[in-house]
Amino acid sequence: MSFVQVRDVWQRYGTRSIIERVNLSVEEGAFISIVGASGCGKSTFLRLLLAEEQPTRGEVSVAGAPPAREPDRARGVVFQRYSVFPHLSVRDNIVAAESFGTRLGWLWGARLREAKARADATLARIGLDHVAGHYPAALSGGMQQRLAIAQALTARPRILLLDEPFGALDPGTRVQMHDFLTELRAENPMTVFMVTHDLAEGFKLGDRVLVFDKPRWDPHAPDAYGATITYDFDARHGGIPYHHLREKVDEPAFAKA
Amino acid sequence: MRLINRKPGRVLAIVLAALPFVAVALAYTIGSEMRLAVNPQDRLLPAPATLLDTAIRTFTEAERRSGRILLWHDTGASLFRLLSGVGIAALLSLVLGLVIGLLPVMRGTLSNFVAVISMVPPLALLPILFIFFGLGELSKVVLIVIGTAPVMTRDLAQRVLEIPREQIIKAQTLGASSLVIALRVVLPQVLPRLIINMRLSLGTAWLFLIAAEAVASETGLGYRIFLVRRFLAMDIILIYVLWITLLAFLLDWALRALSRRAFRWLEAGL
């Protein structure tokens, strides 16, 4: 049984079909990039994985659990914007990943001190320790996204969902963020789903690249049919999965000739 | 250079800011002198010197019958009514606003109700309040609450709804319950708005307070103004009006200072 299992999922708002017949199974630790034109249900699919929405038909299960009905700690998420809490300092944003799960949302005494120490260690690792006391608004876009990713990971989710996380960053920062994400994945392997507009980014980071598109199209009723996964690329080894395989040469036969 | 690009320097800015005040004071003085020149007994526009005289008397001299300085007594009574009214309204609107903004079930139940309630003209309810709550403090406080709470509630609920959906989702993925989301994500972010609402409501609250005091009261700034009106004591009325204006200004300033000190994250931009 695979780690994330999507079985025959359809999503429809009223008469508008967004996605249809989506089937997917993902191994634990895989990095899945999701690409496609605007309005092709990429973000809808991510919301279904997040359990923010329930599919009209079919079901999504993560780590063998029954389909979730609302977002929970098994799912970490980073959006393009508004992913960190503006009223909490950088350190408190990380601590929030531990304290929000408690009954009143606050940690006290020794537990708070431990959580703060862990948060400081995390911040040192991602290079944000010098701004630990600042508020997110004082951070650059790249730093905010780094903070958002670290915050999501502090809650130890089973899957990490990234909704165009680097879409609002400039190209240089974007490359830095790719390296940052790759490093984090090397340290603790995790299952990631990333929606992106950038094909190169999708292939660079992903183990698999899923393309969402509408296979059926009625020009008189553009909303009648939804999008589905039309391509499922193996993106390892730069998107050329078999080039490292050597052709087996039948040596004895060759020698005879 | 276009007018929209012309900015006053520092000295000019101060002069410009003072200009309207000086102009009003000047106009008053001239008007007063013109009237007093025709009729030295005129009471409508007392001379500035008379005003100053009255001011010193009202702020320092005790009334002979009760031995109390009436102005301070009136100020205490009025501020108590005003602040308890606005305070209760703020608390009420905070709770209702959070509940309406966060919980779809409560939104479905209450949002239309609050919208209708906020359309009821509060002053029209004043007789009812006097009948139900008596002529004491309660009816005046209730009038202020009824007059300010519904608008504050609607605004606050709207602000809660305007908090980016992403943050609410994110909090859920960090394991936050509805209560934790309300207390740790939404509440801190709408508190600055609550202070702004209080500042905006203070104007209306003064209106309701003075109206209620004018109709039925035994003490209070509004009561005093409407009492001395019978003797055409313009000097006292003017002093009270200036005093109320100063109080309102100070309250507004205090709330703004509080907001700036308490919510540093609002101004944390680069």
Chain B CA closest to residue A47 = B169
Q: Based on the domain organization, do A166 and A128 belong to the same domain?
A: no
Burial annotation B22-54 (CB, 10 A radius, 16+ → b, else e)? eeeeeebeeebeebbeeeeeeeebbbeebbeeb
Res A241: pLDDT: 64
In a domain, residue B27? The reply is: yes
Q: Is residue A253 part of a domain?
A: no
Name the band, by pLDDT with cuts 50, 70 and 90, for residue A1. low
Amino acid at B105: V
Note whether A89 and A52 are same-domain residues: no
Check whether residue A197 and residue A135 sit in a common domain.
no
Q: How far is B268 from chain A (nearest CA, A)?
A: 5
Residues A189 and A168 in one domain: yes
Are A201 and A131 part of one and the same domain?
no
Chain B residues with CB inside 8 Å of A76's CB?
173
Q: Give the β-pairing of A4-13 and A57-62.
A: antiparallel
Where is the domain boundary, A156, A189, A210? A156
Domain encompassing residue A188: 1-74+159-246
Question: Are both A131 and A178 inside the same structural domain?
Answer: no
Q: Output the six-digit token pair for A229.
A: 């996964």
The DSSP secondary-structure symbol of B65 reads: T
- A39 falls in which pLDDT band (50, 70, 90)? confident
Residues in chain A: 257
Neighbours of B116 (CB within 10 A): 10
Q: Are residues B160 and B216 in the same domain?
A: yes
pLDDT, tens only, A103-146: 888 888 899 999 999 999 989 888 888 999 999 999 988 899 99
Enter the DSSP assignment of B44: S
Listed in sequence order, the residues at least 6 apart from B260 whose beta carbon sits closer than 8 Å to its beta carbon are B267
Residue A213 lies in a domain: yes
CB contact under 8 A, A71 and B169: yes
Domain match, A45 and A164 both: yes
DSSP character for B121?
-
Q: For residue B63, what is the DSSP state?
A: P
Whether B140 and B7 share a structural domain: no
- Give yes or no: residues B33 and B159 share one domain: no
Tokens 């509805």 sit on residue:
B178
Looking up tokens 């007789």, which residue turns up? Answer: B127
Yes or no, beta carbons of B170 and A105 under 8 Å apart = no
Return the structure tokens found at A236: 């390892």
B32 shares its domain with B106 = no
Which pair of structure tokens corresponds to residue B192? Answer: 């600055």
β pairing state of A208-213 and A31-36:
parallel
By Cβ distance, the residue of B169, B184, B188 closest to A100 is: B184
The Cα of A211 is separated from the nearest Cα of chain B by a number of Å equal to 25
Same domain, A64 and A41: yes
Count how many domains chain A has.
Answer: 2
A158 contact residues in B (CB cutoff 8 A): none
* pLDDT value of residue B270: 45
Is residue B266 domain-resident?
no
Residue A246 — very low, low, confident or very high, per pLDDT cuts 50/70/90?
Answer: low
Could you read off the pLDDT of A140-161 as tens digits, one per residue? 888 999 999 999 999 989 999 9
Residue numbers in chain B where pLDDT is lower than 50: 270
The DSSP secondary-structure symbol of B103 reads: -
Pairing assessment for the beta strands A16-26 and A4-13 based on DSSP bridges: antiparallel
**What CA–CA distance (Å, rounded) separates B59 from B104?**
53
Question: For the purposes of burial, counting CB atoms within 10 Å of the CB of A130, is it exposed (0-12), middle (13-18) or buried (19 or more)?
Answer: exposed
Task: Answer whether residue A236 is part of any domain.
Answer: yes
Q: In this structure, is residue A79 part of a structural domain?
A: no
pLDDT digits (tens, 9 = 90+) for A68-104: 899 999 999 999 888 899 999 999 999 999 999 888 8
**Domain termination site, one of A139, A156, A173:** A156
Residue A78, CA distances (Å) to A60, A194, B174 in order: 20, 9, 12
A101 burial level (CB within 10 Å; 0-12, 13-18, 19+): middle
Contact A72 B175 (CB under 8 A): yes
My answer on whether A107 and A129 are in the same domain is: yes
The reply to whether B123 falls in a domain is: yes
What is the pLDDT at residue A152? 92
pLDDT of residue A245: 64
Asked if A105 lies within 8 A of B265 by C-beta distance, the reply is no
Asked if pLDDT for residue A234 goes beyond 90, the answer is no
- The pLDDT value recorded for residue A127 is 86
Question: Does position A256 have pLDDT exceeding 60, yes or no?
Answer: no
User: What is the side-by-side strand order in the sheet with A208-213?
Assistant: A75-78, A159-163, A191-195, A31-36, A208-213, A228-234
Confidence of residue A183 (pLDDT cuts 50, 70, 90): confident
Claim to verify: residue B154 and residue B196 sit in the same structural domain: yes
Nearest-CA distance from A159 to chain B in Å? 11
In this structure, are A173 and A63 located in the same domain? yes
- Contact indicator for A131, A147 with CB cutoff of 8 Å: no
Q: Do A96 and B263 touch (CB under 8 A)?
A: no
Q: Is A197 exposed, middle or buried (0-12, 13-18, 19+ CB in 10 A)?
A: middle
Per the structure, the complete domain to which residue B245 belongs is given by 70-261
Instruction: Say yes or no to pLDDT of A251 above 70.
Output: no
**Is residue A222 situated within a structural domain?**
yes
Residues A168 and A238 in one domain: yes
The verdict on B223 and B105 lying in the same domain is: yes
Residue A17 is assigned to a structural domain of this protein: yes
- Looking at the complex, report in whole angstroms how far the Cα of residue A98 sits from the nearest Cα belonging to chain B: 7
Between chains, do A100 and B180 touch, taking CB under 8 Å as contact? yes
Task: For strands A159-163 and A191-195, give the pairing.
Answer: parallel
ipTM of the complex: 0.87
Residue that the structure tokens 């395989």 belong to: A245
pLDDT digits (tens, 9 = 90+) for A42-56: 889 999 999 999 999
Q: Are residues A134 and A205 in the same domain?
A: no
User: Which of B59, B81, B61 shows the shortest CA–CA distance to B72?
Assistant: B59
Question: What percent of chain A is predicted at pLDDT more than 90?
Answer: 43
- Chain-chain contact of A105 with B184 (C-beta, under 8 angstroms): yes
> CATH number, domain at A50?
3.40.50.300
The domain total for chain B is 2
Closest approach of A221 to chain B, Cα-based (Å)? 31
CB of B187 less than 8 A from some CB of A: no
* B100 and B224 assigned to the same domain: yes
DSSP notation for chain A? --SEEEEEEEEEETTEEEEEEEEEEE-TT-EEEEEESTTSSHHHHHHHHHTSS--SEEEEEETTPPPPSS--TTEEEE-SSS-S-TTS-HHHHHHHHHHTTSSSS---HHHHHHHHHHHHHHHHHTT-GGGTTS-GGGS-HHHHHHHHHHHHHHT--SEEEEESTTTTS-HHHHHHHHHHHHHHHHHS--EEEEE-S-HHHHHHH-SEEEEEE-S---TT-TTSS-BEEEEEEE-TGGG-TTTTSPPPP-HHHHHH-
Q: How many CB atoms lie within 10 A of CB B188?
A: 16
Q: Are B22 and B75 in a shared domain? A: no
